[in-house]
Amino acid sequence: MLYLLGLGLWDETDVSVRALDIAKKCAVYAELYTSQWHGSLEKLQKMIGKPIKLLSRSDLEENLQALLNTAKQTDVAIFFSGDPLAATTHVDLLIEAKKQKIPVYVVHNASIFSAIAETGLQLYKFGRAATIPYTKQLAAVRDAIETNKAAGLHTLLLLDIDPVAGPMFAGAAIKLLLEAKIIKEREKIVVAAALGSEKSQIVYDTAAALSTKQFLTPAVVIIPGKLHFREKDALELL
């Protein structure tokens, strides 16, 4: 049996009682490389009373079969930051397990894709999301923004995370967009940082102004599309 467990947005206190109960009876792993998690692995281990093995990217990609073989023989639980199925790689894991007739149970949790509703922007008005990479290859980002704007939709921009450089800062991401002329300096956009924590920051201002501000990580940048009057009111209150 394979259990996919969500850690939530911020730290170990966001984990559901159901997820903890499941983890206590399984061989437990955690994947924390796809997004930043501010929790303590040591505290989480104490909460379930057993060690947690960290998974690398290769464990879930080229060496995935070894993990699936274990799940065929015993109960395996994997913790993921946010929601277990928010990343494409994790959906691939779900599909591959089902192909091999391994029973899968998912315990969902909050993710950035739902938390951005705190900005006041309506979730059903978001189009395709994109990630701003450290490589500065922004063609996919430009395409997502242009396509969404043409349809009047908002664009959620996730920020890259690197094992060495760490998570990308919102200011640096906005500067990349400005340098590539994907957005304009006077264009008003949103930065949402550290959502789910008591330190959360949500700011609506011009791209030029936000590019110089300091934000916590993890953060996202949102390019608004056509705004409903309720959305306008909500943004002006930020």
pTM above 0.85, yes or no: yes
What average pLDDT score do residues 25-32 get?
A: 97
CB of 190 closer than 8 Å to CB of 112: no
Domain 2-110 fold is Cobalt-precorrin-4 Transmethylase; domain 1 (3.40.1010)
Query: What is the structure's pLDDT at 164?
Result: 85
CA atoms of 130 and 158, how far apart (whole Å): 6
Q: Domain ranges in the chain?
A: 2-110, 113-236
CATH superfamily of 113-236: Tetrapyrrole methylase, C-terminal domain (3.30.950.10)
Cα angle 34-38-44, degrees, rounded to a multiple of 5: 95
| Residues 100-138 pLDDT 10s | 999 999 999 999 999 999 999 999 999 999 999 999 999
Query: What is the structure's pLDDT at 163?
Result: 83
| Residues 172-201 pLDDT 10s | 999 999 999 999 999 999 999 999 999 999
For residue 89, is pLDDT > 90? no
Q: How confident is the model at residue 213 (pLDDT cuts 50, 70, 90)?
A: very high
Query: What is the structure's pLDDT at 33?
Result: 87
Instruction: Indicate the pairing of strand 104-107 with strand 130-132.
Output: unpaired
Query: What is the structure's pLDDT at 55?
Result: 95
For residue 149, is pLDDT > 90? yes
Residue whose pair of structure tokens reads 């993710």 in the numeric block: 111
CA atoms of 51 and 13, how far apart (whole Å): 18
CB of 5 closer than 8 Å to CB of 85: no
| Residue 153, amino acid | L
Instruction: Identify the burial level of 221 via C-beta atoms within 10 angstroms of its C-beta, where 0-12 means exposed, 13-18 middle and 19 or more buried.
Output: buried
For residue 77, is pLDDT > 90? yes
Query: What is the structure's pLDDT at 34?
Result: 84
CA atoms of 75 and 27, how far apart (whole Å): 6
Q: Where are the beta strands (DSSP E) in the chain?
A: 2-6, 27-31, 53-55, 76-80, 104-107, 130-132, 155-159, 161-162, 166-167, 188-193, 201-206, 219-223
